Structures are given as structure tokens and as C-alpha cells.
Amino acid sequence: MSNFRLSPLQINILQYLTNCQAHGQSPQTLQSKRSSLGLFVRWCIAREITCWQQIDPSVIEEYRRAVYSYLQPICLLHLDPSTQRNRLTAIKTCFQHLSKMRIIDADPTAELELPRCPRRLPGLIPDLAEIDQLLESIQPDTPRELRDRAICETSFATGIRRMELARLDVNNINFPANLVQVQRGKGNRDRVIPIASRACTWISRYLAEARPSWVGHQSGGSLFIDQKGLRFRGHQLSRLVGKRFLTNGLRARGACHLFRHAAATLMLEHGADIRCIQEFLGHADISTTQIYTHVTILRLRKVYLETHPSACRQPKAL
């Protein structure tokens, strides 16, 4: 669509998104901002608001209430607080940019209070026995099974995010040192983390026995590739790992992240320092990591109630 058909709102949003891209923001971040800002623009146009100068704090407050009260069509539930926050944050950061560039005189979102998002405990994290059962169930009888085993072993051993796993290149694995270089993680940050020798063994087998079956010029340096020789995408990894969880009677939603949750929780239970876990997971804020301490406390409480003599015995009548 050519610019003369766009409203001033849409033109400035395109300029803002181009600026975000120039600053190296990830495609996922850009898509999230594009979606949230698009919803806001459509809401504005329905009210005959076509330029930023028409937007004052009262308009922002009206939109905040609209986001809060919106009911999703199928389930008729309100948006999750984190989704509400993301939609409003996109508008707030856009207005901050417009104010900085002197496109608007004042930022109407300056007093906007974003919804608070309660920290949620990851639910039903698989224990070590369940993880071992899942991994051992993948018998490397074919190149495809061998690749899937290597993917699952790597995901659990490193605790890396789905997209970090998808972006791994062959040269990101330092086999002699048992290290992985994670590039362009969340916040576009790089980090180097350890990887178990067991996982390295499976990756080595995959590189020698499976990857050559599909590799082509389009594969580049991609570590994990599909049967067409293409780098795995995030949703493909979710489907692959999720199927393995389902096969073993475990919940499959957020399957790649379940490996991440399990790795962090088990390391904490075995005495790892919270700061080391933060570095391992690539969390910018330690408060994100501290949620796992709550998980281990819940498990400790369960074990305590089941095993401690004082907790197991019924109290005598006084």
C-alpha cells in the first residue's frame, strides 16, 4: 500500500518500526509491536482519530479500559494481564519515541499505569525420572530418531529457549570444552554456557550419522535441520518435542520450555546458586529466575509432609 493511502498514524508507526529494526530488535519483538500498534490504530480510526495530535491522556485511558474489558470471541475470557501489558507497552514506547523525535509536543502515555503481571509458577514440571524416561524412549534407530534424540538431549542439557535452540549453528558447539555459544538470545544478548558431555555425544552422533542425509546448500551452518535440509523453525521444534512429551504421558504445552523449567529446577534442588542459574538461563533480571525457588520450596514441602516424622504422625489428643 502506498503512503498516500495511509493515515498519519500508520505512516508514523511504519517509521517507528523501521527505527526499531535499525536498532537490531528481533523479528519476534517487531511482530509483537506491529500487531499491538495495529490494533490500537484500528481502534482509533473507528473513532475518527487519524493523527497522533488528536490523542491525549483521556484517549489513552479509554483505550486502556477497552483493552481491560475486551472479551476474546471464542472463550469469552478477558485478556491475560501479560497480554494487556504488552499491548499497552507497545503504545507507550512508540509515544516515547514520537516525543523524543519532536513529532508530538507531549507524551500522552506519560502517566499511563501498566497492568501488573503476577509471577506464575511453572506448573507440572517433569521430574528427573520423567525426563530420563522421555529421553530413553527415543531410540536412535533411524536418522530422524537420532536427530530428535539429539534435539531433546540438547534442550534439556542447556535449558535454552526454543528460538535459541533453532538458531544454533554447528560451530556454536565447542566439543572439547563442552560449551555452547548462544547467539541473539532474548534481548539480542549472547552468552556462553556449559553443555553436558552426554548431550555432546548425541550431537556428535547426529552430525556423523543423520545430518549428512539431508544437508544441502540451503542448510548453511545450521545445527538442526529438517528432512528438506532447512533450519528448524520454532514451531517445528515445539511440535517435535511436544509429540515426545505426549507419547510419554506428559503435558505437551510449551514443551521446549518444560525442558528449560526442569533443568533450572533440578539444578537448584541439587545446590546450584541462584546467580549461576540466572546466567545459565540468560535472564536479565534475577527476579525472573527466583520463581524457581518457589517451585523447589513447594516440592520440599510435599516431601516434608510425606516423610518427616512430626508431619506424618497424627497429633495426640490434648
- The catalytic residues are 161, 186, 257, 260, 283, 292
Q: Are 196 and 160 in contact (CB under 8 A)?
A: no
Residue 261: what residue type? H
Burial class (CB in 10 A: 0-12, 13-18, 19+), 12: buried
CA 268 to chain centre: 21
Q: Are 221 and 181 in contact (CB under 8 A)?
A: no
- Helix, strand, coil content of the chain in percent (nearest 5): 60, 5, 35
Measured between alpha carbons, how far is 193 from 179 in angstroms, rounded to an integer?
6
Region of 24 please: left (phi>0), alpha (psi -120 to 50) or beta. left
